[in-house]
Amino acid sequence: MATTIDRGGDKRRQTRSVATRRRILDSAVRLFARQGYSYTGTSEIIANSGMTGGAFYHHFDGKESVAEAILVETNAKVHHAYTSADDGGSALEAVIRGTFAVAYLHVNDAGARVSSQLMETVGRATGHSARHFDAWTDAIGAQLRLGQAQGDVRGDVDPEGVGRSIASAAYGVWAVASFGTNPSDLVDRLAAVWDVILQGIVVADVAAYFRGYLFGEGRQFDSARLAAPHRAG
């Protein structure tokens, strides 16, 4: 007798599994945002999600693995937001747009805001924060080096060093989003940071152009372009 393979059933189970995992992650984000990672227990995440303990432990070992999953997912979103701002034109414009794109992500995405506090706890302990920051500064440094080749960034500027400075300053501004600040305030603060940075890195002939760009098109970003990428497994 031939065996019938219920592929439809497998697909339904997979869909339910993905939905369960999503509910657990969303529950953790809500609790971490409300009371902090350190003051949230695994049992609270399970209860808040409405899932059983068995369902939780099918996907996660405990709250630390949930936090790591949030960081991985947010990492993918940040990368998507930053790279989606690059249209293949001016590299310096792309860096400016990219930092604002990530700022808007932190304003509009609860997981991104929570990830700021998780970077200081779980991310630091697991090395995730250092790896993420290094990758981020490398990406900015590479674009600044291209900006030098395009004649916009001064030749005496150290792209990697400035990249680290930009990433550090931008992260500080983005972290403010976790305090529930007004979105327009966040954008204004990032623009103020960039106004100072540009004075030290831009070729004099194009300084006026880039300052105008910063306070015009550069700080505007279409939120539709921040559609979530494929979620990390």
Give the Cα separation of 220 and 214 in Å (integer).
9
Which residues does residue 153 pair with via DSSP β-bridges, in sequence order?
202
Give the Cα separation of 55 and 60 in Å (integer).
9
What is the per-residue pLDDT across 113-134, written as a single tens digit (0 to 9) for each?
Answer: 899 889 888 988 888 888 888 9
CATH architecture of the domain with range 64-226 = Orthogonal Bundle (1.10)
* pTM (2 d.p.): 0.82
Domain with CATH 1.10.357.10 in the chain: 64-226
Give the Cα separation of 70 and 24 in Å (integer).
10
Q: What local confidence, expressed as pLDDT, does residue 173 receive? A: 83
What is the per-residue pLDDT across 11-30, written as a single tens digit (0 to 9) for each?
Answer: 777 788 899 999 999 999 99
Query: Which token pair is 90?
Result: 């001016």
Q: Is residue 224 pLDDT above 60, yes or no?
A: no
Query: 197 near 169, Cβ under 8 Å?
Result: yes
CATH architecture of the domain with range 1-60 = Orthogonal Bundle (1.10)
∠ Cα 95 100 105 (to 5°)? 125
Domain with CATH 1.10.10.60 in the chain: 1-60
